[in-house]
Structure 1
Amino acid sequence: MDFLQTPENQLFLGVAVAIVAIGIGALYLYSSKKPKGCLDPENFREFKLVKRHQLSHNVAKFTFELPTPTSVLGLPIGQHISCRGKDSQSEEVIKPYTPTTLDSDVGYFELVIKMYPQGRMSHHFREMRVGDYLAVKGPKGRFKYQIGEVRAFGMLAGGSGITPMFQVARAILENPKDRTKVHLIYANVTYEDILLKDELNGLAAKYPDQFKVYYVLNQPPDVWDGGVGFVTKEMIETHCPAPAHDIKILRCGPPPMNKAMAGHLDALGYSPEMQFQF
């Protein structure tokens, strides 16, 4: 311990301890800092398609690579991106899509796309092959979510309108600090049209006290225990939380469905503050 007896050595030791402390603090701040997202709200950036998985005759899951294996897209919960492509006439088209992945999915993001015969952006995705690049800009959208903002969400989705609902539900359910309940009504024409069915059923099985899903089909199979026809006021009353200051109903689907759901919600007593349309 003679080394510590001189003032010079004590000063040297003190400086060394301070440097180590600063280094540890800097390392902690660096490691705990949220990674910067890859999106640019003003300019399109290109991301490489690394996998394409056909889910049905007109639905595919597209996986795009981010710059590094630890990169995140940087998309807030419930917001979307703008994708740019070319239609069958080689004219530019831009359309919004919501990834089904979250920032907890590092190094990549995924889009589940339903490709319609006459859809302009559908043509672009139909033509995309592994190795091609997609131009993306964002984030976009008015939806902002904070834990504890509401006690429960009701969700009314139709067709590909499930993607923002799935993103929000996943973010809530996979956060152990978030106890918000989620009640989803998901409408389609046929059983084969149900997007993300396995993933939704998986969430319902894993979080039975927090997530409920009710499927509605316009043309159901012979054996079917879900709803039939269009989503009705009675279905909303049965499967969504009742109007209250601490609930919100989200809706996303084709324009006729959105209009019909707005009418149902108004008639059931949901105020404008309790409703949000993607």
Structure 2
Amino acid sequence: MDFLEANEIPIVIAVFAVAIVAFLLLSKKPKDPENFREFKLVKRTQLSHNVAKFRFALPKPTSVLGLPIGQHISCRGKDSQGEEVIKPYTPTTLDSDVGYFELVIKMYPQGRMSHHFREMKEGDYMAVKGPKGRFKYRPGDVRAFGMIAGGSGITPMFQVARAILEDESDKTKLDLIYANITVDDILLKEEIDTLATKYASRFKVYYVLNQPPEGWTGGVGFVTKEMIAEHFPAPAFDIKILRCGPPPMNKAMAAHLEALNYGPEHLFQF
């Protein structure tokens, strides 16, 4: 009996050590910048004919994604030919949303990753890795952000805006110009309008439509230099302009911003 008890001690220690390692691994945030991990789609909400919100469960109800503000994740899927495709997306959720993360996806007819999302059903799994991105932010870094977004380029802007506005200690002001073709193309409009109402002294939104409906009071056509000058703070050392949209729009906005004397130190493109 003495022999058995003596030899049980290292076994118990080994089991305890394994348990500790397992606990540490499981308690880590589920982000992984180098390796893909699988997350289950638990809810799919169709927002329009080509836009849906996808909610993925994290490992535990108390888990957070651990994604820094303004950074994105890479999603892996298969296109219509069965070939692997990887594309970056910015979740619209923050670490205050525990147990899950959400992606708002606009699915284009010829989009390779769009095909994968179009085919996804609740219960399916998505391979994800991250975080990725060059954007770094700390409260107080700037006095104000000007944001120019086009189409699905709103997702990093929305994430940054939520993080700043919901932080009571952060006094940074935000001005958003958001361009789309029609009113039905405006992603997250209800959520954006809610933020603009709740934080009216710190967050202003100006919508621009290429094909506006009758009675539209926002901007019409493309985002112009005059619109930027009217709605954004003037260039200063504590001002930063963020932009995210289709390549032609990003190029046009870069020219407008340069003409308005915003220097490279003022600019960031997602």
- Per the TM superposition, whether the score is higher than 0.5 is yes
Q: CA RMSD in A?
A: 0.6
- Which of 41, 48, 52 is 2:44 aligned to? 52
- Identity within the alignment, %: 81
Alignment map for 1:33-112 (pairs within 5 Å): 36-112=28-104
Query: Are 2:176 and 1:187 equivalent residues in the alignment?
Result: no
Q: TM-score, normalised by structure 2?
A: 0.90
Structure 1: segments with no counterpart, 5+ residues? 1-34
- Which of 244, 255, 277 is 2:269 aligned to? 277
- Which of 211, 218, 224 is 1:226 aligned to? 218
CA distance in 1, matches of 2:174, 2:30: 29
Query: Are 2:236 and 1:244 equivalent residues in the alignment?
Result: yes
C-alpha deviations, 1:12-68, integer Å up to 9, x for none? Answer: xxxxxxxxxxxxxxxxxxxxxxx7421111000000000000000000000000000
Q: Match of 2:255, as an amino acid?
A: G
CA distance in 1, matches of 2:29, 2:147: 28
C-alpha deviations, 1:227-250, integer Å up to 9, x for none? Answer: 000000000001111100000000
CA distance in 2, matches of 1:103, 1:135: 20
- In the other structure, the counterpart of 1:164 is 156
Q: How far has the Cα of 1:160 moved from its partner?
A: 0.1
Q: Say which SS state the counterpart of residue 255 (structure 2) adopts.
A: helix
- Which of 254, 257, 263 is 2:255 aligned to? 263
C-alpha deviations, 1:130-156, integer Å up to 9, x for none? Answer: 000000010000000000000000000
CA distance in 2, matches of 1:240, 1:111: 28
Q: Say which SS state the counterpart of residue 273 (structure 1) adopts.
A: helix
Q: Larger radius of gyration, structure 1 or 2?
A: 1
Q: Match of 1:117, as an amino acid?
A: P
- Which of 103, 116, 136 is 2:128 aligned to? 136
**1:80–1:139: 8 Å Cα contact kept in structure 2?**
yes
Query: Are 2:215 and 1:253 equivalent residues in the alignment?
Result: no
**1:37–1:75: 8 Å Cα contact kept in structure 2?**
no
The count of residues paired between Structure 1 and Structure 2 equals: 244
Q: Say which SS state the counterpart of residue 155 (structure 2) adopts.
A: helix
**1:156–1:185: 8 Å Cα contact kept in structure 2?**
yes
Q: Say which SS state the counterpart of residue 44 (structure 1) adopts.
A: strand
Structure 2: segments with no counterpart, 5+ residues? 1-26
C-alpha deviations, 1:230-271, integer Å up to 9, x for none? Answer: 000000001111100000000000000000000000000000
- In the other structure, the counterpart of 2:18 is none
Q: Say which SS state the counterpart of residue 240 (structure 2) adopts.
A: strand
CA distance in 1, matches of 2:31, 2:161: 22
**1:243–1:269: 8 Å Cα contact kept in structure 2?**
yes
CA distance in 2, matches of 1:71, 1:60: 23
Q: Match of 1:101, as an amino acid?
A: T
Q: Match of 2:199, as an amino acid?
A: Y
Q: Say which SS state the counterpart of residue 203 (structure 1) adopts.
A: helix
- In the other structure, the counterpart of 1:116 is 108
Q: How far has the Cα of 1:223 moved from its partner?
A: 1.1
